Amino acid sequence: MASIDLPHAEERLKGASRSTLATPSDQEPVDVLLVDDQPAKLLSYEAILAELGENLIKTGSAQEALQVLLKRNVAIMLIDVCMPDFDGFQLASMIREHPRFQQTAIIFVSAIQVTDLDLLRGYELGAVDYVPVPVVPEVLRAKVKVFAELYRKTRQLELLNAELENRVAERTTELAQTNAELEQRVEKRTREREAALAQVHEMQKLESLGQLTGGVAHDFNNLLMAILGNLEVLRDNFLNNPPLLKLIDGAIEGAEHGAALTQRMLTFARRQQLRPEIVDVAKLAGGMIDMLRRSVGPTIQITTEFQPELAAVRVDPNQLELALLNLAVNARDAMPDGGDLRITAHAEHVIAGHMPGVDPGDFIVIGVGDTGCGMDETTLKRAAEPFFTTKDLGRGTGLGLSMVDGLAGQSGGAMRIRSRPGVGTNVELWLPASETRLAEPERLDLRPGAAEVFPVRVLLVDDDPNVRASTAAMIEDLGHAAVAAASAADALEVLRSPQEIDLVLADYAMPAVTGTRLAAQIDGVRPGLPVVIITGYGEASDELFGLPRLNKPFRQHQLAALIEKLLGPKKPSTSFSPPINYPRALLNTETLPTEIGREKTA
């Protein structure tokens, strides 16, 4: 915004003649009105003042003078005091009564009324000077010149002041507009900040929900472990009772469904980097249908269409499940009155340059389409932006589609969205097809082989009495001996005794000491003794340091396969397991109570 330099006003006044607004200029003549009833005197005044170059206007009476005043911008008046109609004093009085002529310079000229009282009366009527007759030409010219210059400068100041006022008004308007824009920006930023805070609160709620979900899932796994373990043992005792066996199998199936749901909860609660694996898309998506039906509700019909013999993709399966769940929930919100949700998968080949942001090659396209309200062009362009949402406050974080887009990009693919208002939306995940054939991973849940395993003694360490009892019953039902310990200190007390132990099953999450730290301590007491971590926590895998793991809830045949895998069909030896390089921090025994009795009394 331009500024007005007031300290240089005088310099600008000097250049006012070059401005279109600053008129009259220094060279422009001003009007000088000569009023006298004697033509000879008027001619003499004209002769004296002619060399000044001003506009000299002669009038012979007060009436003529008033007419000229109303038509012209008179700068100076030379008025004869003694005139027949109105004397000069009366004319001056009439002039000063008019608001337009308050500042007009009046010079009285008189040969008779030149006393001090006459001069005083003239000055009282607004005269700027009083010249006696005979007039000295040089003096009269000097006086008129001074007042003409003064008039010009006054006019220039008035015009400059008007210009300044106009500029100030313009700048005031600009400032008002800028202030209004600033207020709008502040209001906009305030709304954005409030929206961002709301999103942060939503993310904190999601994080808290994830932590709560992880804890609940762990406790639920312990409950399922106790239920499944007892049902397994109970089933073996009623093999000859088909009706009761059918009921037990139904209860086991229900517990397994609960275990699958718990694994979904652990996947939701997990916070980790992408861990790509070779994934069968049709199998993964097909395995989610029951959970998706529960998530979207009974008013939405889910259909699937997977191309046969699809190639596998290399992607993080947990994140892909979350992506499909996010898309299904978005579709549900777009169909409040119900509708159809379609999940498809087919192969596509991309030629170079045909699909921006995607390298040429073979892709598996996973589609999630709905018959909901759809999106207009503006919403569609911003759909994948982080924190952008059209849902009501508290109903969405605006991160769902951006997370799906990020997963596709990190996996070497892309996300494409097609939508029409009133028709529906279709979201496609383009994931590169993997050249690696899908192989069955080595599992510990296979049934044991035909070779029999000699009876072994298993030390079971778990702080949950129900899990401890049911797992011990499963071990003993397999023909092995179970030694139960409720804590790490109890387990170390057993291992320091002469009692033979062939295998340790240790819970991961126990008070004061984790299963991995206990394993490190066991390696110091009985080197080479096999230790298996049993856990219901999804995030425990990063801390197992190569130890075998059995996820809760597990079945009896999984436990049998694990024992057979670790100990083999021959008589087990305590030197079977290779040494494990534990971190030095786990070898600190200060966290373990040395007096078992003290811990028990506590």
What is the domain partition of the chain in residue ranges? 28-165, 281-432, 457-601
Peptide bond into 553 cis (omega under 30): yes
Residue 146 exposed, middle or buried by CB count within 10 Å (0-12, 13-18, 19+): middle
pLDDT of residue 447: 42
The ranges of the chain with pLDDT < 70 are 1-26, 199, 202-203, 205-218, 260-274, 384-400, 437-453, 537-545, 569-602
Cα distances from 455 to residues 198, 373, 462, 556, in angstroms, run 60, 64, 22, 15
Residue 346 exposed, middle or buried by CB count within 10 Å (0-12, 13-18, 19+): middle
Cα distances from 134 to residues 67, 109, 140, 145, 146, in angstroms, run 28, 9, 11, 19, 20
How many C-beta neighbours within 10 Å does residue 380 have? Answer: 16
CATH fold match for the domains 281-432 and 457-601: no
Q: 80-134: per-residue pLDDT in tens?
A: 888 887 788 888 888 888 888 888 889 988 888 778 888 888 888 888 888 888 8
- Tell me how far the alpha carbon of residue 474 is from its chain's centroid: 53
In CATH terms, the superfamily for domain 28-165 is Response regulator (3.40.50.2300)
Query: What topology is assigned to 281-432 in CATH?
Result: Heat Shock Protein 90 (3.30.565)
Nearest alpha carbon to residue 519 among 542, 546, 497, 541: 546
pLDDT of residue 587: 39
What are the φ/ψ torsions at residue 420 (nearest 5 degrees)?
-135, 135
Nearest alpha carbon to residue 548 among 572, 532, 564: 532
Single-letter amino acid code for the residue at 379: T
Cβ-contact 191, 433 below 8 angstroms: no
E strand or H helix at 346: strand 339-350
- Report how far residue 475's alpha carbon sits from residue 459's, in angstroms, rounded to the nearest whole number: 10
Nearest alpha carbon to residue 436 among 594, 277, 562, 316: 277
Single-letter amino acid code for the residue at 49: L
pLDDT of residue 343: 93
E strand or H helix at 236: helix 137-236
Strand partners, 433: 313
pLDDT of residue 443: 42
- Report how far residue 521's alpha carbon sits from residue 502's, in angstroms, rounded to the nearest whole number: 16
Cβ-contact 415, 365 below 8 angstroms: no
Cβ-contact 281, 264 below 8 angstroms: no
CATH of domain 457-601: 3.40.50.2300
Cβ-contact 554, 436 below 8 angstroms: no
